[in-house]
């Protein structure tokens, strides 16, 4: 169904909402892991898994946006924003997760 409701504006921010979620969850887990001395290999794997989930969520948003949004102004803007969010999520977190976690 192609949505016309005002709520479809939320599609514009959907990708970066996922980026924000990744930021909050990864930053929180990093803080918790360091505070309670979680063992490193498992801890880092969990962080990468969380990142993978968020990247997957953005990929899902790509697919759903094509189903839900009619062509017109919003669709290309949403696609651009989703691409930007995907790249931002990858670049903000993937290199950082390779660094020293607690020092």
Partner 1 sequence: MTREKDAGAPPEARDPIRLHKALTRIWGAGPGLARLSSTNHSVLGMRFMITAGVFFLIGGILAMIIRAQLSTPQSAFLGAETYSQIFTLHGTVMMFLFAIPMLEGLAGYMLPKLMGARDLAFPRLTAFGYWCYLFGGSIIVLSLLFGVAPDSGWFMYVPLSSKPHSPGVNSDVWLLGITFVEISALTFATTLVVSILKIRAPGMTLGRMPIFAWYMLVTSLMIILGFPPLILGSILLEAERAFGLPFFDPTRGGSALLWQHLFWIFGHPEVYIIFIPAAGVLSTIVPVFARHPLVGYRAIVAALVAFGFLSFGIWAHHMYTTGIPHMALAFFSLASSLVVVPTAIQIFAWLATFAHGRPRWDVPMLYLFGFLWIFVMGGLTGVMVAMVPFDLQAHDTHFVVAHMHYVLVGGFVFPLLAGLYYWLPLATGRASRFTLARPGFWLIFIGFNLTFFMMHLTGLLGMPRRVFTYPGHEGWMWLNVLSSIGGMVLTMGFAVILADLALHARFGRRARRDPWEGGTLDWAIPRPPTFYAFASLPRIETRADRIDPRELGRELAAGEGYLGDTRNGWQETLGIHVTTGEADQVIIFPRQSYEPLVTAATVGLTVLAMLFKLYPVAVAGFFVVSAMFVFRAQSAGLREDHGPLPIGRGEAVPPHTEAESSPPLLALVVALVADGTILASLIYAGFYNWLVAANWPPPELARGGLIPVALAVAALVAASGCARGALAALGRGGNPVPWIGAGIFAGLAVTGIVGAILAGLPDPRSHAHPATVFMLVGYIGLHAYVGLLFLVSNALRYRAGYLSARRRLDLRLTRVWQDYTAVSGIVILLVVLALPALAPLAEGRP
d(CA 63, CA 101): 34
Whose Cβ is closer to partner 1: residue 6's or residue 63's? 6
Nearest by Cα to 57 from 85, 24, 91: 85
Give me the least distance between CB of 52 and partner 1, in Å please. Answer: 17
Indicate the residue among 32 and 59 with the shorter CB distance to partner 1.
32
Which lies closer to partner 1 via its Cβ, residue 57 or residue 85?
85
Angstrom distance (rounded) from CA 70 to CA 23 = 30
Q: How far is the CB of 56 from partner 1 (least distance, A)?
A: 19
């Amino acid at each position: 169904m192609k949505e016309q409701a005002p709520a479809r504006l939320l599609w514009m921010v959907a990708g970066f909402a996922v980026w924000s979620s990744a930021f909050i969850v990864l930053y929180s887990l990093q803080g918790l892991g360091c505070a309670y001395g979680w063992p490193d290999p498992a801890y880092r794997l969990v962080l990468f898994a969380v990142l993978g989930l968020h990247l997957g969520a953005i990929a899902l948003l790509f697919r759903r946006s094509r189903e839900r949004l009619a062509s017109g102004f919003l669709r290309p803007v949403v696609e651009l924003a989703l691409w930007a969010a995907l790249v931002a999520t990858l670049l903000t977190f993937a290199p950082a997760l390779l660094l020293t976690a607690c020092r």
